[in-house]
Amino acid sequence: MSDTALCAAARAECLPATRRPRLGFAGVGWIGLNRLQAVAADGAADIVCITDLSVDAAREAARAVADRAPYTFVSDSFEDLLAEDLDGVVIATPSGLHAQQAMAALGRGLAVFCQKPLGRTAHEVAQTIEMAQARDRLLAVDFCYRTVAGVTQLVELAHSGALGEIFAADLVFHNAYGPDKPWFYDLRQSGGGCVMDLGIHLVDLLLLVLDYPCVAAVSSSLHAAGKRLARPAAGSPAAGLEDHAFAEVRFANGATARIACSWRLSAGRDAIIEAAFYGTRGAAVLRNVGGSFYDFTVEHCKGTARQTLASGPDDWGGRAVRSWARQLAMNAAFDSSATCLYDVATLIDAIYER
């Protein structure tokens, strides 16, 4: 057994076997496989079932975790997964399926950990949260940038008042590449372009750090291939898929935020990812290092001085799913923090002007 597997086994032994949740995984493409492996390495849950439209992908994923989960049931049908004796489901299918699959799982009394976005619209998100509340089941979304080292301290700085009144925020997520899977470019399956894909992480961080203030006004400009997209007619889907978005948000407390995100921008590096929060007594900034998608620094700034709160390599990708699985092991009940998912979805709707 490898060192990693030994550590995982030792950690798993700390949890009573009867409390270890039985999990099913729906969708084991790029991110689903990554999160499956994170759960397997952690050992806090039993991997019971893997389903993917491509049964070959499901089989391959089962092989990848066979040392930790040798008897995993594999299927190409989400219904088969729901028929298993499970405590929770991890959903990483194309975005357009999330709300429908999450509601089906919650409706059967299963807890859900879903990739972002939870739904394509605030309406879908509200329906899913209502189902989780009605069935009293844990619901969480993989807003994984919250778990980057230093972000917890950044949030504490903001919430403790150490930054003073936060009056401005600047958030960007520019990706020099675009998604490489066709479903991302089908509005029905993706729910949107770069705002739904990348901007949603910024909106989540913004509202988390500012502690969900009332939104007073939102203005936005969405572009596709350099052309401004027209505002959709009431009740209609968007006219096209944005690959660049800029939004300004004004909060009722007077604070303002600027959000920009894009696919295939000539960024001069793989990605530019930043979330800066400016207060009357200081600032806190999350920034990617050297264009990396994975390495970040978090700094606390005052005037020209800055203190590094975290930096360097940090294996943060699987942290949110691990923490959901551990929470599920303790208590499967609805956690009211999930209601914040609606605030994120509402602001996304406002950016899309719908």
**Binding residues for ligand NAD, per CB under 6 A?**
26-32, 51-54, 57, 78, 92-95, 97, 115-116, 142, 144, 181, 197
Q: Is residue 89 a contact partner of residue 24, using CB atoms and an 8 Å limit? A: yes
3-state secondary structure of 127: helix
Tokens of 60: 């391959």
Closest residue to bound ligand NAD by CB: 29
Q: Is residue 30 a contact partner of residue 180, using CB atoms and an 8 Å limit? A: no
Instruction: Rank residues 59 and 123 by Cβ distance to ligand NAD and give the closer one.
Output: 59
Distances (CA, A) of 263 to 10, 48, 111, 170, 241: 42, 36, 33, 18, 11
Distances (CA, A) of 296 to 273, 274, 287, 293, 308: 9, 9, 5, 8, 11
Instruction: Rank residues 57 and 126 by Cβ distance to ligand NAD and give the closer one.
Output: 57
Instruction: Rank residues 28 and 69 by Cβ distance to ligand NAD and give the closer one.
Output: 28
Instruction: Rank residues 29 and 213 by Cβ distance to ligand NAD and give the closer one.
Output: 29
Instruction: Rank residues 157 and 171 by Cβ distance to ligand NAD and give the closer one.
Output: 171
Q: Is residue 212 a contact partner of residue 340, using CB atoms and an 8 Å limit? A: yes
Q: Give 283's Cβ-side CA count (13 Å radius).
A: 18
Instruction: Rank residues 116 and 300 by Cβ distance to ligand NAD and give the closer one.
Output: 116
Tokens of 330: 């303790």
Distances (CA, A) of 46 to 33, 39, 280, 286: 15, 9, 48, 34
Minimum CB–partner distance for residue 340 and ligand NAD (Å): 16
- Quote the CA–CA distance of 326 and 47 in Å, as a whole number: 14
Minimum CB–partner distance for residue 33 and ligand NAD (Å): 8
Minimum CB–partner distance for residue 112 and ligand NAD (Å): 14
Minimum CB–partner distance for residue 175 and ligand NAD (Å): 11
Minimum CB–partner distance for residue 136 and ligand NAD (Å): 25
Instruction: Rank residues 92 and 271 by Cβ distance to ligand NAD and give the closer one.
Output: 92
Minimum CB–partner distance for residue 292 and ligand NAD (Å): 14
Edge-to-edge strands, sheet with 73-75: 73-75, 46-51, 22-26, 88-91, 111-114, 139-141
Minimum CB–partner distance for residue 219 and ligand NAD (Å): 25
- Quote the CA–CA distance of 264 and 202 in Å, as a whole number: 18
- Quote the CA–CA distance of 116 and 211 in Å, as a whole number: 20
Q: Say how many C-beta atoms besides its own lie within 10 A of residue 161's C-beta.
A: 12
Minimum CB–partner distance for residue 295 and ligand NAD (Å): 15
Minimum CB–partner distance for residue 197 and ligand NAD (Å): 6
Instruction: Rank residues 19 and 181 by Cβ distance to ligand NAD and give the closer one.
Output: 181
Instruction: Rank residues 97 and 209 by Cβ distance to ligand NAD and give the closer one.
Output: 97
